[in-house]
Amino acid sequence: MDFNYLTVLWRRKWIILTAALAALGVVYIGGRSAVTVYESTAVLRIAIYASASQTPALYNYNDELTNTFVRVALSTSVRRDLAERLQTDHLPDVQVDTIEGTELVLVRASDPNPELTVRAANTLAEILVEQGRALYSGSTVDVKNILAGQLERAKADLDAMRADYETLIVRTPPVSDEITLVSQLLQEKQRTYETLLRQYEQAEYREALETGIVSLVEYAPPNPVASQQNRIIFYLLALSAGAAVGVFAAFLVERFDTRLYATREIEMIVNAPSLANFPSTSRAHLQISRNGISPLANTVRNLAATLQIADGWRHHKIILLTGAEPGQGVTTTAANLGSALTEQGRKVLLVDCNLRDPKLNETFDLPNDKGLINVLAGNAELEDAIQRGEDGQPALLSTGPVSDSASLLVTSSEIEPLFKTIRHLFDYILIDAPAVPFAETANIAAHADAVVLVVRRSHVRRDSVRIATDLLTRFGNKYLGLIVNESEIHSIQPFVDEPTQRRN
């Protein structure tokens, strides 16, 4: 069997949807009986010391420090401190998360005990504020102090050398050699001072970077809310898992489903194109005698015209319609074709030979108190048994009251003269027969001019069509071909001079 995956998924969508909803229902019912978990959240702010020169490196360093803060906040030592302050051995589930693009940190605590969640979130936030400066402290303070001392001495040396230089400048007479030497020494002192000054500023800058300010922006509210995040995740997982199971079940069902869902596949098994492909329609438009404007009605009327126009089909007055198996819509097809032929001015008689499930009289809202069985048994005259409904409707010979021995009458010798009689009274006789596998169908077909197989797409099994085709081909040229109900292809076989021939 060839799979078109998208077609299979669409055809089995109700299996997938049912599996997904079933999984969701199980999780929902289980969630209602589960323990409610409450969640509290406190908000911290980690601000880096602001300096005059804000560079990209400063912001990157801020992110690194914030991430380090989060890791330290979840450390064993901090959790131990939290347990001591809460005076409990049972700590709630604690999470510390940053909000991207901000300086905010969320401190969350979740537990079935709502009071404990509030206390845990607020207490942990307070611990982190207390330890904030210690968490960010570094070793650059000592370096800065050393540089400050060196810078102070260099400044004193520079000032002293500048004073000596100014004294030499005003001395009379000037000593040029000594002035040149002092000038060189002054420049050297100036460079030393500037170098130490830059190093001191860098140390001060690093100290600013490493000095974070942790503040408590918002305490956790006193009334925590029930956590919905995990529940939503469980629902999404349940839907995904259910859908996955549904997809697996869909392909499994498809693998073992022997029904035929494509008209072309049915035609390949029958080894002949269909005479007509009747489209799906609503129940309100199913009978063209009651609602004659629909795609189905147009297709049926086209088939009725074909039966009358094609030279090779004109002599087929008695046409037997049978299904590959029960439930193929044979009764509705016979009623619609009979109505279409009647509309086109033909005298038509519908004969209900389906003693197993007589329905033709119900189609036209007619009684079934007498009919074919009564005529064959000699309990009623043919003219009295034939019912004529409203104008524009075909005549009907229903089954009459069905008994256990009724099938014997249909297969008796009495039925042959009956068909000879009605052949001369009507232009077309359409027989609604049981499905092909039943024995009486073959006996009735022996008195018909033509046999048509009716198949309901997506409701007929592959083996049933194959068996029905093998049986009907034994009737030779009587087997006209195939009518597909609920076909995805709306068409009739083009006009031909001879009945439909099976492919070699």
Would you say residue 379 lies in a domain?
yes
CATH classification of the domain holding 174: 1.20.120
Would you place residue 309 in the very low, low, confident or very high pLDDT band (cuts 50, 70, 90)? confident
* Predicted pLDDT at 331: 95
* Predicted pLDDT at 395: 95
Whether residue 499 has pLDDT greater than 80: no
Whether residue 338 has pLDDT greater than 90: yes
Q: What is the pLDDT of residues 179-214, one digit of tens each?
A: 888 888 888 888 888 898 888 887 776 665 555 567
* Predicted pLDDT at 497: 45
Within this chain, do residues 119 and 267 fall inside the same structural domain, yes or no? no
* Predicted pLDDT at 33: 63
Within this chain, do residues 180 and 267 fall inside the same structural domain, yes or no? no
- How many residues are given for the chain? 504
Mean pLDDT within 393-408:
86
Within this chain, do residues 62 and 153 fall inside the same structural domain, yes or no? no
Within this chain, do residues 127 and 156 fall inside the same structural domain, yes or no? no
Supply 114's token pair.
């709502």
Supply 163's token pair.
């004073």
Mean pLDDT within 230-240:
81
* Predicted pLDDT at 186: 84
Within this chain, do residues 176 and 316 fall inside the same structural domain, yes or no? no
Residue 290's domain comprises 263-492
CATH classification of the domain holding 474: 3.40.50.300
* Predicted pLDDT at 504: 44
Would you say residue 241 lies in a domain?
no
Would you say residue 6 lies in a domain?
no
404, 350, 408, 347: which is closest to 376 by C-alpha? 408
Would you place residue 272 in the very low, low, confident or very high pLDDT band (cuts 50, 70, 90)? confident
Would you place residue 3 in the very low, low, confident or very high pLDDT band (cuts 50, 70, 90)? low
Q: What is the pLDDT of residues 421-459, one digit of tens each?
A: 999 999 999 999 999 988 888 889 989 999 999 999 989
Question: Average model confidence (pLDDT) for the chain?
Answer: 83
Count of domains forming the chain? 3
Beta strands in 362-449 (DSSP E): 387-388, 395-397, 428-432
As a whole number of angstroms, the distance between CA 108 and CA 43 comes to: 9
Would you say residue 399 lies in a domain?
yes
Q: Which of 15-19, 72-76, 250-254 has the highest mean pLDDT?
A: 15-19
Look-up: residue for tokens 């010798």? 413
CATH classification of the domain holding 81: 3.30.70
Within this chain, do residues 43 and 182 fall inside the same structural domain, yes or no? no
Mean pLDDT within 478-489:
89
Q: Which of 465-474, 483-492, 494-503 has the highest mean pLDDT?
A: 465-474
Within this chain, do residues 367 and 435 fall inside the same structural domain, yes or no? yes
Within this chain, do residues 388 and 283 fall inside the same structural domain, yes or no? yes
- Choose the final residue of a domain: 176, 200, 226: 226
Q: How far is CA 440 from the centre of its chain?
A: 48
* Predicted pLDDT at 496: 45
Would you place residue 139 in the very low, low, confident or very high pLDDT band (cuts 50, 70, 90)? very low
Q: Answer with the residue of higher pLDDT: 495 or 290.
A: 290
Within this chain, do residues 97 and 178 fall inside the same structural domain, yes or no? no
Rounded to the nearest 10 degrees, how much is the dihedral formed by the CA atoms of 494, 272, 304, 495? 20
Would you say residue 144 lies in a domain?
yes
Would you say residue 233 lies in a domain?
no
Within this chain, do residues 81 and 169 fall inside the same structural domain, yes or no? no
Would you say residue 400 lies in a domain?
yes
Distances (CA, A) of 164 to 181, 183, 193, 271, 288: 11, 10, 17, 121, 124
Within this chain, do residues 52 and 189 fall inside the same structural domain, yes or no? no
Within this chain, do residues 179 and 294 fall inside the same structural domain, yes or no? no
Q: Distance between terminal CA atoms of the chain?
A: 23
Cα three-residue angle 366-369-370, rounded to 5 degrees: 100
Whether residue 373 has pLDDT greater than 50: yes
* Predicted pLDDT at 501: 47
DSSP string, 357-393: S--HHHHTT---SSSHHHHHTTSS-HHHH-EE-STTS
Mean pLDDT within 282-301:
81
Supply 252's token pair.
């499994």
Mean pLDDT within 132-148:
63
Mean pLDDT within 325-339:
94
Supply 12's token pair.
């089995």
Mean pLDDT within 17-41:
82
Mean pLDDT within 276-281:
89
